[in-house]
């Protein structure tokens, strides 16, 4: 699935949001070229960008606390 073709479905499949997620056990982002990801991300509309960021934060335990990003390891 390509991010730019269906960003909502891609985002939903990154992390568990109360439903089946296709990529839960796969290191999906490690297969995506960072420059390509940024270019695609920058071309998404704001709502799709926001939802994708939320799903990535949820998947990787990233939390933004008053301009301080923390990662749960």
Q: How many domains does the chain have?
A: 1
Give CA–CA dist 13/19, Å, rounded: 9
Tell me what the mean pLDDT of segment 62-70 comes to: 59
**Is 25 a domain residue?**
yes
What residue numbers bound the domain in which 21 lies? 7-71
**Is 2 a domain residue?**
no
Indicate the pTM of the whole model: 0.72
Q: E strands, the chain, where?
A: 62-65, 68-71
What's the first-to-final CA gap in the chain, in angstroms?
28
In angstroms, the Cα distances linking 49 to 3, 25, 33, 46, 73 are 11, 23, 17, 5, 24
**Is 14 a domain residue?**
yes
Give CA–CA dist 51/69, Å, rounded: 18
Asked if residue 10 lies in contact with residue 3, where contact means CB atoms within 8 angstroms, the answer is yes
Which pLDDT score, from 0 to 100, does residue 60 have? Answer: 80
pLDDT tens, 2-59? 788 888 888 888 877 666 777 777 888 888 899 998 999 999 999 999 988 888 888 8
The yes-or-no verdict on residue 72 having pLDDT over 80 is: no
**Is 45 a domain residue?**
yes
């Amino acid at each position: 699935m390509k991010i730019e073709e269906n960003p909502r479905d891609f985002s939903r499949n990154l992390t568990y949001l109360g439903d089946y997620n296709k990529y839960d056990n796969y290191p999906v982002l490690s297969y995506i070229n960072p420059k390509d990801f940024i270019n695609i991300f920058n071309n998404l509309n704001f709502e799709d960008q926001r939802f994708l960021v939320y799903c990535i934060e949820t998947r990787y335990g990233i939390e933004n606390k008053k301009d301080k990003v923390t990662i749960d390891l």
